[in-house]
Structure 1
Amino acid sequence: MRAGDLVHLTTAASVQFLRPIFVRVIRELPERHTYDGWVWIEGYQLNAAGDAVARRELYVRRAGVRRQARPVAPSRPRRRVPVRVG
């Protein structure tokens, strides 16, 4: 996992995710010792709108982490130009 990755964490990643969450990865934490196949990550938990709501350090099974496609940036609303009649 790299900085900026969007991941979906479910019970496949750890039993703590009975309610799945989305996380924007900040970094892996290599200085922490783990069991084989597990990793510590630091990231921002996202709400349904995609806004960061909490910064978290999470212990997850690498094989259970589901990478998500990067969301398309919302287009900027167009500015309406008033039409003059007459």
Structure 2
Amino acid sequence: MLPRSGDVLHVTRAASVQFLRPITFRVIRAHDWPTYDGWVWLDGYELNATGDAVNRRSIFVQSAGLCQLQAAPAPRTGAVHTRRTVVPTPVRVG
């Protein structure tokens, strides 16, 4: 499983021995840096029990050891929003 931006993960000792105490982690990005087979660098935020970000971290983990708690929302497709043009109006001075 390669995490995507927005995924919320439960990171335990199964992902890396550094996580003796499991953390909840929201992914910002998964780097495509060359690493050992099955390992990945992730940037993101450690979350507290209420889901608030408490620490920004970069972690090096085995992707097979990650447990996904919440998937990132699917990208929106279909509706195209256009910007309205603003027509300048004369400014009254005096």
Q: Does the TM-score normalized on the shorter chain lie above 0.5?
A: yes
Take 2:44 and 2:68, find their aligned partners in 1: how far apart are those partners? 14
**Number of corresponding residues:** 69
Which residue of structure 2 aligns with residue 23 of structure 1?
25
The 5 Å alignment of 1:1-86 reads 1-30=3-32, 32-69=33-70
The answer for unaligned runs of 5 or more in structure 2 is 72-94
Q: Which runs of 4+ in 1 moved over 4 A?
A: none
Take 1:40 and 1:69, find their aligned partners in 2: how far apart are those partners? 19
The percent identity for this pair of structures is 58
Take 1:24 and 1:18, find their aligned partners in 2: how far apart are those partners? 18
Residue 46 of structure 1 and its aligned partner are, at CA, apart by: 0.3
TM-score, scaled to structure 1: 0.77
What secondary structure sits across from 2:64 in the alignment? helix
The answer for unaligned runs of 5 or more in structure 1 is 71-86
Task: Name the amino acid aligned to 2:28.
Answer: I
Instruction: Decide which structure has the larger Cα Rg and report it.
Output: 2
